[in-house]
Amino acid sequence: MQTMLKKYGLLVWLSLILIAGFVSTTVASFIVSRDAIQQGISEQTLPITGDNVYSEIQKDILRPVFVSSQMAHDTFLRDWIINGEEDKDLIAKYLKEIKLKNHAISSFLVSEQSHQYYTADGVLKAVSETEPRDQWFFRIRNQKADYETNVDADMANRDTMTIFINYRIVDYSGKFIGATGIGMTLDTMKTLIDSYQARFRRNIFFVDQKGNIALAGNNMKKIRSNLSNMPGISGLAQQILGNRKSESQHLEYKTDNETILVNSRFIPELGWHLLVEQETSNEIKPLQNVFLINIGVSAGITILVLIILLVTVRRYQKRLEKSASTDTLTNLLNRQAFDFVFQQALLDGERSRQPMCVVLLDIDFFKKINDKQGHLVGDHVLKEISLIAKRSLRESDIICRWGGEEFLILLKNCTLEKATSIAENLRNTIANNDFSRTTDLTRTRLSITVSMGVAECRDKDTEDSVFERADQALYQAKENGRNSVYFSE
Cite the active site residues: 405
106 in Cβ contact with 182 (< 8 Å): yes
The answer to whether the beta carbons of residues 358 and 466 sit under 8 Å apart is yes
Please provide residue 460's backbone torsions phi and psi, each rounded to the nearest 5 degrees: 65, 15
Answer for the pair 150, 136: CB distance below 8 angstroms, yes or no. Answer: yes
Residue 68 contacts residue 165 (beta carbons within 8 Å)? yes
**Interacting residues of 367 by C-beta distance below 8 A, sequence separation 6+:** none
Concatenated DSSP letters of 29-56: HHHHHHHHHHHH-S--S----HHHHHHH
Residues 110 and 180 sit within 8 Å (Cβ to Cβ) = yes
Q: What are phi and psi of 444, to 5 degrees?
A: -95, 155
Answer positive or negative: Cα dihedral of 21, 25, 31, 34.
negative
- Integer CA distances (angstroms), 436 to 386, 440, 443, 483, in order: 15, 7, 6, 19
